[in-house]
């Protein structure tokens, strides 16, 4: 049964974790001098009546050459799996198709992964683009390449003091006058608003395009990952040289 690239990718992480754990353990083992050290000694008294003592011995528990062989076996598996994946990535490819239109042809897996990441970042960016205030009515102004509102004319007023005689003057009392202010029209403001933001429809269109392309790239990557791989055997050559 042929092996798919997706299957190699799926097992690579586990193989890598196990080989690194084995390598770490081996490193610790060969640093423990007592595990590498053995001893054998016997006792002989000076004369026949002397005290008899039993022999003593300690076996070597770790042999460096054995550790090298074990490491070579574990890492050979990792080297082979990773080589199989990387060799396959050189030839596994797929087309990026958006709504029936082929946008990109024969895109390798590594570039599809790059596209996925970039499109995810772009999706975040376009969703945050500034949008024109929906409370206003906007049109595009070709002369400035901005958006603008219709001119709105408003009245400008000015407060002018006025006197209100509450009581006329008499021989004994002055007139009682109250000052008040009256708004008098003095001119007109004509206001037009401008904006460099985008219509909501345009932003929604950009978001939709990014999301459609992102989906197409994911489909292409999944298709490329069904590529049938050829098992690579490089670990044996590497460790055959290193630990010969």
Collapsed DSSP state (helix, strand, coil) of residue 105: strand
- Does residue 51 share a domain with residue 7? yes
pLDDT at position 178, please?
86
- Does residue 180 share a domain with residue 209? no
pLDDT at position 171, please?
76
pLDDT at position 238, please?
92
- Does residue 208 share a domain with residue 118? yes
Q: Which residues touch 194 (CB under 8 Å, ≥6 apart)?
A: 141, 144, 146, 147, 148
- Does residue 72 share a domain with residue 103? no
Q: What are phi and psi of 167, to 5 degrees?
A: -150, 130
- Does residue 56 share a domain with residue 44? yes
pLDDT at position 114, please?
94
Q: Whole-model pTM?
A: 0.67
- Does residue 105 share a domain with residue 67? no
pLDDT at position 191, please?
94
- Does residue 209 share a domain with residue 114? yes
- Does residue 5 share a domain with residue 31? yes
- Rounded distance between C-alpha atoms, residue 136 and residue 194, angstroms: 11
Question: CA torsion angle for 13, 65, 38, 61 (degrees, to 10)?
Answer: 30
pLDDT at position 141, please?
93
- Does residue 45 share a domain with residue 14? yes
Domain count, the chain: 3
pLDDT at position 1, please?
61
Quick one: three-class SS letters along 47-95? CCCCCCCCCEEECCCCCHHHHHHHHHHHHHHHHHHHHHHHHHHHHCEEE
- In this predicted model, what pLDDT tens digit does every residue of 37-74 receive, in sequence order? 898 999 898 888 888 899 999 988 888 888 899 899 98
- Does residue 212 share a domain with residue 132? yes
Q: Is 108 exposed, middle or buried (0-12, 13-18, 19+ CB in 10 A)?
A: middle
- Does residue 114 share a domain with residue 235? no
Structural domain harbouring 58: 1-92+229-244
- In the chain, which residues have pLDDT < 70? 1
pLDDT at position 174, please?
80
Asked if residues 97 and 202 have their Cβ atoms less than 8 Å apart, the reply is: no
- Does residue 124 share a domain with residue 215? yes
Do strands 101-108 and 93-98 pair parallel, antiparallel, or not at all (unpaired)? Answer: antiparallel
Strand partners, 108: 93
pLDDT at position 199, please?
95
- Rounded distance between C-alpha atoms, residue 142 and residue 132, angstroms: 17
């Amino acid at each position: 049964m042929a092996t798919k690239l997706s299957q190699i990718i799926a097992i690579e992480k586990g193989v890598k974790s196990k080989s690194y754990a084995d390598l770490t353990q081996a490193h610790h083992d060969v640093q423990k001098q007592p595990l590498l050290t053995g001893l054998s000694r016997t006792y002989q008294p000076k004369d026949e009546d002397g005290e008899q003592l039993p022999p003593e011995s300690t076996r070597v528990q770790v042999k460096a050459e054995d550790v090298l062989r074990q490491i070579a076996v574990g890492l050979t598996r990792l080297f082979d799996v990773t080589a199989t994946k990387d060799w396959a990535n050189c030839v596994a490819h797929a087309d990026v198709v958006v709504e029936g239109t082929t946008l990109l042809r024969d895109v390798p897996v590594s570039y599809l992964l790059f596209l996925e990441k970039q499109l995810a970042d772009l999706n975040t960016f376009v969703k945050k683009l500034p949008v024109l205030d929906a409370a206003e009515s906007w049109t595009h102004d070709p002369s400035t390449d901005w958006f603008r509102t219709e001119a709105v004319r408003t009245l400008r007023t000015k407060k002018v003091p006025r006197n209100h005689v509450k009581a006329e003057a008499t021989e004994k009392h002055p007139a009682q006058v109250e000052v008040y202010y009256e708004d008098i029209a003095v001119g007109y403001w004509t206001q037009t608003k401008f904006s460099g933001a985008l219509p909501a429809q345009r932003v929604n269109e950009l978001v939709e395009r990014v999301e459609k392309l992102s989906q197409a790239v994911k489909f292409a990557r999944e298709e490329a990952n069904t590529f049938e791989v050829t098992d690579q055997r490089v670990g044996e050559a590497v460790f055959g040289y290193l630990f010969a």
